[in-house]
């Protein structure tokens, strides 16, 4: 059993097929780049892997458990699942919803039922690591694009998920922040985390990916 398995997964929007017979598996600790042209279905596949939409045909297994609408409607299961699997959206605006950066970082750990001391420790560590200390009381919508991205990454970091899924993580970041983020992702990989990231960036393929999962415009999936 692999950590993530998709078998013959199909998904369509309003009858328009986007994912067609997608078949792949990812082992724990692998770093996999999800590639393919605009509109190939990368973001759709990441939403499906995060239990936000479900296969219309075929099946998706996470750590041996089939992820279905019924399963995700079980509060206890969905909580467990979201703790194991972090999702950094392409657009941080849809991810950040609290009234301050510090609250945003505490949200996941609070949901996990951690002690106040543990929550505070995680938030402080993340504020430091992501360079967000001076922004901690700011409302997320007042941050710059790059600052929002860091806050979104930090809000996943405080949950310490085993699997990180990231949609175009380098998009709209300056060179220095990109360098920093590549190093951060390399450190996650070295810590044994599983990474799946959609990207158009050559450097992520070279510096981070163990292999590539290509969603082609013909909707076939292949590895190299």
Bridge partners of residue 35, in order along the sequence: 214
Q: What is the rounded CA–CA span in Å between residue 80 and residue 164?
A: 15
141 binds, among Mg ion, ligand ATP, none (CB under 5 to 8 A by kind): none
**Region from 2-10, 34-42, 66-74, 137-145 binding ligand ATP, contact rule CB under 6 A:** 34-42
Q: List alpha helices for the chain, DSSP H.
A: 42-49, 69-72, 75-84, 101-111, 116-129, 145-157, 175-190, 202-207
Question: From edge to edge, which strands make up the β-sheet containing 31-35?
Answer: 85-88, 163-167, 194-198, 31-35, 211-215, 221-223
Residue 103 Cβ vs ligand ATP, minimum distance, rounded to whole Å? 29
Q: 70 or 216: whose CB is closer to ligand ATP?
A: 216
Rounded CA separation 95/104 (Å): 10
Residues between 31 and 70 that touch Mg ion (CB under 5 A) = 42-43
Q: Which is nearer to Mg ion, 127 or 170 (CB)?
A: 170
Asked if 124 touches Mg ion (CB under 5 A), the answer is no
Site string for ligand ATP, 38-57 (x = CB under 6 A): xxxxxxx-------------
| Binding interface with Mg ion (CB under 5 A) | 42-43
| Binding interface with ligand ATP (CB under 6 A) | 13, 18, 36, 38-44
């Amino acid at each position: 059993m692999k950590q993530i398995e998709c078998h013959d997964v199909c998904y369509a929007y309003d009858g328009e097929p986007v994912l067609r017979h997608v078949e792949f598996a990812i082992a724990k600790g692998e770093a996999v780049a999800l590639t393919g042209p605009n509109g190939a279905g990368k973001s759709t596949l990441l939403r499906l892997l995060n239990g936000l939409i479900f296969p219309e045909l075929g099946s998706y297994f996470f750590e041996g458990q089939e992820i279905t609408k019924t399963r995700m409607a079980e509060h206890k299961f969905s909580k467990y699942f979201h703790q194991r699997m972090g999702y950094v959206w392409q657009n941080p605006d849809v991810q950040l919803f609290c009234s301050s950066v510090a609250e945003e970082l505490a949200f996941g750990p609070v949901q996990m039922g951690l002690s106040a001391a543990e929550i505070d420790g995680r938030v402080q560590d993340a504020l430091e690591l992501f360079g967000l200390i001076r922004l901690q009381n700011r409302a997320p919508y007042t941050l710059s694009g790059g600052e929002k991205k860091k806050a979104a990454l930090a809000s996943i970091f405080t949950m310490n998920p085993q699997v990180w899924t990231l949609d175009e993580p380098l998009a709209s970041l300056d060179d220095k922040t990109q360098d920093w983020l590549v190093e951060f992702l390399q450190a996650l990989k070295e810590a044994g985390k599983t990474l799946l990231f959609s990207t158009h960036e050559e450097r992520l393929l070279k510096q981070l990916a163990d292999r590539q999962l290509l969603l082609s415009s013909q909707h076939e999936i292949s590895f190299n």
